[in-house]
Amino acid sequence: MGLLTKTAESYYNQSQSFTGNGTLTEFTLTNASFPTLPTAKSQIKITISGKEINSANYNYPKAGTTSTVQFISNTNNTDLLESDGRVKDLLKIIVSESIPAEKFGNYRYISMNDLINNYMVAYVGDGKLISNVRKSEVLFHAKRGIQEFSYDMSRVEKIQEIEVGPSLSIPMPQDYINYVRISSVDDAGIEHIIYPASITSSPSESPLQDNDYNYIFGADGSLLSGTPEISQRFEDFDISKLLSNNKDSSVTYDSDRDSETVITPGGRYGLDPEYSHENGLFVIDELNGKISFSSDISGRIITLKYISDGLGTDDEMKIHKYAEDAMYKYITHALASTRASFPEFIINRFRKERRAAMRNAKLRLSNIKIGELAQIMRGKSKHIKH
């Protein structure tokens, strides 16, 4: 049977249509039409022949049901309903924006549940590659596979838009693994890449010291810690004196030593590309899970593009259909590698099949469009070569 279970109307418009024949007064919504069924009258609107019906003409949900619309007497004297509420024309029930919207494009993926069931049917049993295995074990290796694929092959990249406050720091997202790019957004909505600062760091701990510079301990013997001074100094620093727009060559690490400059704009070998921009800098406190920014980022909107492992929520635990075969090969090799009964040459065969399938999946998911590449290269050919 086909894999599509929703009509085009329910997918694109989150609505369900019925044909009123002059005798029906009740219409039941189905899960096949809506990802989440509405629970209150305020979450739906109803049209008949394209005209919206006043909510006083119907009850939702009908008493004793969870998803049935019941038309009552025609209290508003509309010509779209019979006097006793019978519908005599095309009726459409539309879900309001308060209901979670349809996530478009999910057909590209196979769900974790389908993946596991398919594997158990095709690969496990008498005379098959894996004679006997618990479903929970297949689930474990499938999750590990999704995790590994998400790092490299079918990377799960998310983007958060965040306004940076006076603290100049933001927490790492809950499912953060590593950042891809952090950018500042200008008034036109254009992103400008913010680069990491290699000339400073964000200490995860700053032990307190007494007047003799000895560490201070608490009553339980634990080391007391305060706010790192280096982080505060970096937040207070005028970043324009560091980046390429600096016109004052006397900016120094030590104000008493003019020769020890932070950066020398336009030096003998030109600008340092690491600092030849005006977009600001950031540092990461890996232990405490915070990303801190230079002082010029305060009040600005930034976008944080980061990698997730694909296991954050149940909805994320899915695999792209381009990589479905690679996942089956991955699970098979993982199961065989953990069983003493499999000879080494069989495990090596599974390993080769896994590598080949993963290579094919990576090529498919690389998503290189020849037309787009050719258009970019046309512009490159204009550059004067010398």
- How confident is the model over 170-215, as pLDDT tens digits? 999 998 999 999 999 998 899 999 989 887 888 878 889 899 989 9
Identify whether the C-beta of residue 318 lies closer than 8 Å to the C-beta of residue 193: no
Instruction: Quote the Cα angle for 258-242-180, to 5°.
Output: 150
User: Measured in Å, how far apart are the chain's first and last C-alpha atoms?
Assistant: 62
Q: pLDDT digits over 44-71, tens only?
A: 888 877 788 777 778 888 777 778 888 7
Identify whether the C-beta of residue 155 lies closer than 8 Å to the C-beta of residue 319: no
How far apart are the C-alpha atoms of 118 and 134, rounded to whole Å? 14
How far apart are the C-alpha atoms of 174 and 384, rounded to whole Å? 47
Q: Which residue has the higher pLDDT, 376 or 242?
A: 376
pLDDT at 152 over 90: no
Q: Render the burial of 361-370: b for 16+ CB within 10 Å, e for the rest.
A: bbeebeeeee
Q: Tell me the DSSP string of 20-87.
A: --SS--EEE--TTT-SS---SGGGEEEEETTEEPPGGGEESSPTT-SSEEEE---TT--TTB-TTS-B
- The model carries a pTM of 0.71
What pLDDT was estimated at residue 309? 87
What pLDDT was estimated at residue 50? 77
Within a 13 Å sphere around the CA of 289, how many CA atoms are in the beta-carbon half? 7
What pLDDT was estimated at residue 66? 76
